[in-house]
Amino acid sequence: MSRRLYRPRPATVQTGVDGTPVRVGRAQVESLREEWRVEDRWWTARPVRRRYFELTLASGANVVVFCDLGSGRWYSQTGG
């Protein structure tokens, strides 16, 4: 049985007025390290449109979260 690595996991993210995350779960975002977009498979019926953020939390942990621009849902992901 095979399974994918780095699968996105649903995350609870609060955003500021500019749409950047200010809180991930219960943790406060300390700083925004990087931001990028992924637009892929636009030629298929299931295009991938994501806005990624690499964040440092108040605890010192680094996390990568993205907003699925199609559904508006947030996910966290490793391997980004």
Partner 1 sequence: MGAAPSELPDFASKRNPALFDPVALAPEPDRAQVVGEVSGAAQALGIHPGMRVGEALARCPGLLLVPPDPERAARAWEAVLGALEGIGAAVEPAAPGEAYFDAAALRRMYGGNVEGVLARARRAVPAPSRWGVAASRFCAYAAARAARPGRGAKAVPPGAERTFLAPLPVTLLPAPLGAELAPALERLGIRALGELARLDASDLADRFGRQGLRARELAHGRDTALRPRIPGERLSEEIELPEAGSGLQLLRALELLIDRLLARPERRGRALRALRLGARFVERGTWRRDVPLRQAHSSRERLRLALLPRLDELPAPIERLSLTVVAYGPPVADQLSFQRPDEQERRNRLAEALRQTRAAAGTESVLRVLEVEPDSRVPERRAFLTPFGE
| Interface with partner 1 (CB under 8 A) | 1-8, 38, 40-41, 48, 50, 77-80
For residues 16 and 70, which CB has a smaller minimum distance to partner 1 in the complex? 70
Q: How far is the CB of 5 from partner 1 (least distance, A)?
A: 4
Q: How far is the CB of 11 from partner 1 (least distance, A)?
A: 14
Both structure tokens of 25: 């779960």
Q: How far is the CB of 2 from partner 1 (least distance, A)?
A: 5
Tell me how far apart the alpha carbons of residues 10 and 59 are, in angstroms, rounded to a whole number: 20
Residue 64's nearest CA partner among 20, 28, 25, 34 is: 34
For residues 5 and 17, which CB has a smaller minimum distance to partner 1 in the complex? 5
For residues 21 and 75, which CB has a smaller minimum distance to partner 1 in the complex? 75
Tell me how far apart the alpha carbons of residues 31 and 69 are, in angstroms, rounded to a whole number: 22
Whether 77 and 70 have beta carbons less than 8 Å apart is answered as: no
